[in-house]
Amino acid sequence: MRILVAEDDPVVALALVKRLRALGHEPVGPAADGVQAVALARAERPDLYLFDIEMPRLDGLGAAEELARHGLRRPVVVVTGVDQPELVDRSVAIGVGAYLSKPIGDRELDAAIKLAASRHLELASLETEVERAQQALADRKLVERAKGLLMTALELSEQDAFRRLQLTARERNLRLAEVAQRVVEQQSLLARPRPAGES
């Protein structure tokens, strides 16, 4: 796994790089602050971020937040020498997968990396499920709207309007929602002309 290291203490940074290599990972960096970490992440596209929380210019949590905003969200392991409950709360709020307090042992580091990667996959899977559910709901609303338009314009029952949508979808090898979208887009063609003299 390619892991971006961001740590402002050069001795600690080099120790982390050495430990990551010993654990079979490919270290990227180290970056000396959050601004450098963001630039390196954009250039190198690592698989995971290992960020010290307290760094100059931009802290580790701020760097993780900025990367997520720019579509570069990855599993995050944060490291700190300070035990502050508000840092833990902030870490959880931005989706940090694991939180380590210095000094860090090899076993703790290895476990944290695995935990962060696993949590990241779970979150991505949940987000995909939510997106699918939202799309299914939007499709259903679209089909209902198209069905209503057909019922009004062609004086069809609900069942017949739905059958017509299904048949058109099969004949044209389209999804039901795609046919519904076309019906909605062309609804002006379905409107019945008003009899002459009616305003």
2 sits in which H/E element: strand 2-6
Distance between CA 63 and CA 126 in Å, rounded? 24
**130-190 shares the fold of 2-104:** no
Any idea where the domains of the chain sit in the sequence? 2-104, 130-190
Range of weakest confidence among 6-10, 99-103, 126-130, 187-191: 187-191
The answer to whether the CB of 105 falls within 8 A of the CB of 80 is no
- Least-confidence region, from 51-65, 116-130, 164-178: 116-130
Q: Is pLDDT above 80 for 195? A: no
**Average pLDDT score over residue span 171-190:** 86
With CA atoms as reference, report the closest residue to 87 among 110, 67, 59, 56: 59
- Give the CATH number of domain 2-104: 3.40.50.2300
130-190: CATH topology: Arc Repressor Mutant, subunit A (1.10.10)
pTM above 0.75, yes or no: no
**pLDDT at residue 37, as a whole number:** 95
Q: How much of the chain exceeds pLDDT 70, in percent? A: 91
Q: What is the dihedral of CA 131, 133, 138, 143, to 10 degrees?
A: 140
Residue 193, pLDDT score: 54
Rg of the Cα trace of the chain? 27
